[in-house]
Amino acid sequence: MSIVLLIRHAENDYMKANRLACRLPGVHLNEEGRLHSQALAEALSPRLKEAGEHLRGLFSSPLERARETAQPLAEILGMPVLVRERLMETDCGEWAGKTVKGLSRLKLWKMVQQNPAQFRFPGGESFAEIQQRFVAEVDALRAEFADPKDVIVCFAHADPIKLAVAHYLNIPLNDFQRLVISPASVTILQIDEKSARLWMLNASPALPSLQL
C-alpha cells in the first residue's frame, strides 16, 4: 500500500481577501504563508527522512503557491520539486479572481454547496472532472513507484485534495464539501488497488511515523 501525503499550499493574499485565485498566475505566498511552509517543512522532514529510500519524490501543482510551499521541505531534504500538471488547481473559468461574498449571491452558488456532483464552473471544470484528473495523477504516481512502502508527497490545492479523499474513501461526490483542508495542512492516505486507509486529515504540524 503506497503512502500518499497530500499537502495544501500555505496562505496567500487571495485567501485573506476570500477571493478565488483558481489558476491565476502570479499568486505567491504571503509572509504568513512562508512562515507556515517553513514550520511545516521542519515538522515533516524528520518523518520523511525515516522513509529513507522509500521517499520517491516531492510533486507539485505548477502554480507558484504550491511550489513555494514545497520549496522549504525540498531544501531540507535536498530533493527537487517535480511539477505534475494534473495536480493543478480547479479551473473555475469566469469565477477566477472573484470574491466569495459576491459569488454567494448567485443562484449557482447553492449548487456548489448542495449539489456539486452536477456543477460545472462557468467556462471551467466540473467537480467530477477535477476529481478524475487528480486521482489519475495520484494513481499514476503509485503505479510508477510500486513498492508497498513507497512514500509520495504531493503539494496541491483544497478542492482537489478533498475530492481525492472522497474518491478513495468512497464518499459521494455531493458530500465532499463536508471535508476541510486548511492551508499548509497534511492529509495522509495509505492506498492499494482494493482499498484505502485515512491516516490523517487536515493536520499540521504533528505527524505520525511513516515506518510500517
Q: For 143-175, write each residue's pLDDT tens digit.
A: 998 788 899 999 999 999 999 999 999 999 999
Structural domains for the chain: 2-203 (3.40.50.1240)
Nearest CA to 88 out of 115, 109, 112, 60 is that of 60
| pLDDT averaged per 10 residues in sequence order, the chain, 212 residues | 93 96 97 95 95 95 98 98 98 97 94 94 98 98 89 98 98 96 96 91 72 49
pLDDT at position 189, please? 97
Q: Strand, coil or helix: what is 65?
A: helix
- Considering the entire predicted model, what is its pTM? 0.94
Alpha-carbon gap, residue 57 to 120, rounded angstroms: 32
pLDDT at position 192, please? 86
pLDDT at position 34, please? 96
pLDDT at position 206, please? 54
